[in-house]
Amino acid sequence: MALPLEAEHASANEDFDSPRKIVKFFVVKKAEHEHAQNAELASFEEVMLPHLDAAHNLAKWLVRNEQDAQDVVQEAYLRAFRSFAGFRGSNGRAWLLTIVRNTSYTLLQKNRAVDLTTTFDEEIHAMGHESVSPATILEHAEDADLIKNAMDELPAEFREILALRHQEDLSYKEIADILKIPTGTVMSRLARARGKLKECLTDRISQEK
């Protein structure tokens, strides 16, 4: 029993200033660590913050509420930062929008939104109105409220695909990557989204008259 005690004693004597060394070691390590983290944060912000408007726009169309949209975007940026080390792609906007979309859906599901899929009453919307001419639609093209309200009526999957295509000008391929669906489905879903939007617009225009 005496032997270990002696050994401990001896080593403490030999390295009299070791606690200071240890502290110094950790201070240096911590500084290095912080330096690396700051560099990572700087490069993250440089790549991702330019897409803040796109992120906010998509979130706003999906959750349809300014406060929720901002929360979603903030949460999405935190999630993105956490997995930024794994981001190797060149398309930062598409990558960020994927995360924004997932975060939005988490919120929509939490709020038990019923419009996650196309549970849209096609029958009611498909009948009872004559179609309006292209000229009439173009006349109303500047009416932001009309188009916004008609778009907000659509199911989430239509709102997001219209925003991605018409506002972000993404290609079918990029949209397919974000929505995790085949390119053929992007085409057919866009067609259905535009068809539905046209019906909603037609309803609203004929009600105005």
Partner 1 sequence: MNCEETINLIDAYVDGELDPIASQKVERHLRQCTKCEEGYEAHTAMTQAISRGAPYYKAPTELRERIRSSLRDAIDMNAHSGSVRENQLLARRTQPERRNVFSDLPWNWLGLAAAVILTAAIVSTLLPRMLAPSSDQFLATQLIASHVRSLMADHLTDVASSDQHTVKPWLDVKLDFAAPVVDLSSQGFPLIGGRLDYLDNRPVAALVYQRRKHFINLFVWPVESETTRATKAVSRQGYHLLHWVDSDFNYWAVSDVSSSDLQAFREQFQGQLGPH
Interacting residues with partner 1 (CB under 8 A): 30, 33-34, 37-38, 41, 44-45, 49, 52-53, 55-57, 60-61, 69-70, 73-75, 77-78, 81-82, 118, 131, 133-135, 137-138, 140-144, 146-148, 151, 157, 162-163, 165-167, 171-172, 181-182, 184-185, 187-192, 194, 197-198, 201
Pick between residue 4 and residue 86 the one whose CB is nearest to partner 1: 86
**Residue 139 structure tokens:** 């006349």
Pick between residue 11 and residue 74 the one whose CB is nearest to partner 1: 74
State the minimum distance, in angstroms, from the CB of residue 89 to partner 1.
Answer: 20
Q: What is the DSSP string of 191-209?
A: HHHHHHHHHHHHHHHHHH-
State the minimum distance, in angstroms, from the CB of residue 30 to partner 1.
Answer: 8
| CA atoms of 91 and 144, how far apart (whole Å) | 30
Angle formed at CA 62 by CA 182 and CA 200, multiple of 5 degrees: 85
Pick between residue 12 and residue 52 the one whose CB is nearest to partner 1: 52
State the minimum distance, in angstroms, from the CB of residue 52 to partner 1.
Answer: 5
CB 201 within 8 A of CB 146: yes
* Number of Cα atoms under 13 Å in the Cβ half of residue 43: 9
State the minimum distance, in angstroms, from the CB of residue 1 to partner 1.
Answer: 37
Q: What is the dihedral of CA 89, 91, 95, 97, to 10 degrees?
A: 180
